[in-house]
Amino acid sequence: MDPKVTKQLISNSTKPLLLRNLLKWPIMQWSLENWTEALKEEKMIFRCGYFKKSKCPQWEGNTEFVHGDITYFIKHLDDKDKWLYFDYKHLQEHLRNVKGIRDSIDWAPLGFPEIKLEDSTIWIGSKGAHTPCHIDTYGFNLVHQIYGRKLWLLFPPDENLHPTRVPYEESSIFSKLNFFSPSIEDFKNVGNCQKVILNPADVLVVPHRWWHYVENIETAISINTWVPMDEDNNERLEESIVQFLVKLMINSDAADDIIRKVMLNPNVEDAETTVYPCYTPSQLEIRQTICLRKKWPLITPRRLLSTCREYCRSRFEHRVVLAILMSNRMKKLNFCCNN
């Protein structure tokens, strides 16, 4: 198929799209021995989880991190009690000089020739390694299975999978549901699941804001890229408004320690010095873990926004608030000014 047509079909897709046996990158010929040889000089960090029942998902903050290398990974592949995941690694920062990877990455057959190694992310995991169910806030996702098989469970954006979120967090919204060791009661109202098992050479298109739970059903490697969308600007704007209003609230005279605790992330001590980068899922999960452990409320941005609106209405001239909001928007989201 003409890549331009493929690009259109992918970009317009509102349901997951599975393209079987499509991409044939040279690194797909590599055996585990070839991977071991190619990565032997690389320092790696693995998320180490367990094959055990747990009430909550195995949040990143609860799992251990192990520094090692590919030989360590291979040595532990048959462990019965634990799994290892070199996950969510931007190739721009990791393995970028490994011979063969850069030249292999080619999203052109899908109509995205401009996407290179710098915009791609790699996931290398043993059987059982998984990513708790979440929504990626920005863009849509192209996933290419390189080695082994991987299970994907997908749900439409409006399915209630019990999102967890605290202010100042973006990029991902995690579900409280534990798909790795599920309890039946938690899932009694969950439906509309689409199950996909990815084989090498398959491409999965995950549309904007679809929930996904992902688990390696054997040793597996995949590479993906999130393609930005116009909608991302709205998401960023909403995030910015949330940040701004929360800051306004917690710095006001009316705010007491309880409001601060509820509104701020557990590890944000001082709102004045807070900067707002895009947080990585690891930071996000660590925060969520702390939040869950301390039994602090997890608030959705929408609820927070309405709470903030009420708060502002009762204390400020509405127009003043709007003006501040707009200037804040211009400052923080300078891409808005350029559009």
Ligand X SMILES: O=C(O)CCC(=O)C(=O)O
Site for Fe ion, rule CB under 5 A: 136
By CB under 6 A, tell whether 224 contacts ligand X: yes
Which one of Fe ion, ligand X, none interacts with residue 224, CB within 5 to 8 A by kind?
ligand X
As given in the structure block, the two tokens for residue 229 are: 């969308």
What span, in angstroms and rounded, lies between the C-alpha atoms of 229 and 237?
A: 14
Residue least distant from Fe ion (Cβ): 136
By CB under 6 A, tell whether 286 contacts ligand X: no
CB of 165 to Fe ion, least distance (A): 15
Q: Which is nearer to ligand X, 123 or 180 (CB)?
A: 123
By CB under 6 A, tell whether 265 contacts ligand X: no
Q: Which of residues 55-84 bind ligand X (CB under 6 A)?
A: none
What span, in angstroms and rounded, lies between the C-alpha atoms of 299 and 262?
A: 8
CB of 208 to Fe ion, least distance (A): 12
By CB under 6 A, tell whether 263 contacts ligand X: no
Q: Position of tokens 């098989």? A: 149
CB of 57 to Fe ion, least distance (A): 14
Only one of the segments 111-119, 136-144, 174-182, 322-330 lies at the binding site for ligand X (rule: CB under 6 A); that segment is 136-144
Per-position DSSP letters for 189-214, written without gaps between them: T----EEEEE-TT-EEEE-TT-EEEE
Q: Which of residues 203-222 bind ligand X (CB under 6 A)?
A: 212, 214, 222
By CB under 6 A, tell whether 243 contacts ligand X: no
Q: Which is nearer to Fe ion, 136 or 170 (CB)?
A: 136
Which residue from 123, 179, 210, 296 is in contact with ligand X, where contact means CB under 6 A?
123
Q: Output DSSP code: residue 291.
A: H
As given in the structure block, the two tokens for residue 52 are: 């055990």
Only one of the segments 135-143, 183-191, 228-236, 252-260 lies at the binding site for ligand X (rule: CB under 6 A); that segment is 135-143
Contact 81, 50 (CB under 8 A): yes
What span, in angstroms and rounded, lies between the C-alpha atoms of 225 and 3?
A: 17
Number of shown-chain residues binding ligand X (CB under 6 A)? 10
What span, in angstroms and rounded, lies between the C-alpha atoms of 178 and 182?
A: 5
Strand blocks (E) in the chain: 17-19, 44-50, 64-68, 82-90, 121-125, 130-136, 140-147, 150-155, 163-164, 172-175, 194-198, 203-206, 211-216, 220-227
Contact positions vs ligand X (CB under 6 A): 87, 123, 131, 136, 141, 143, 212, 214, 222, 224
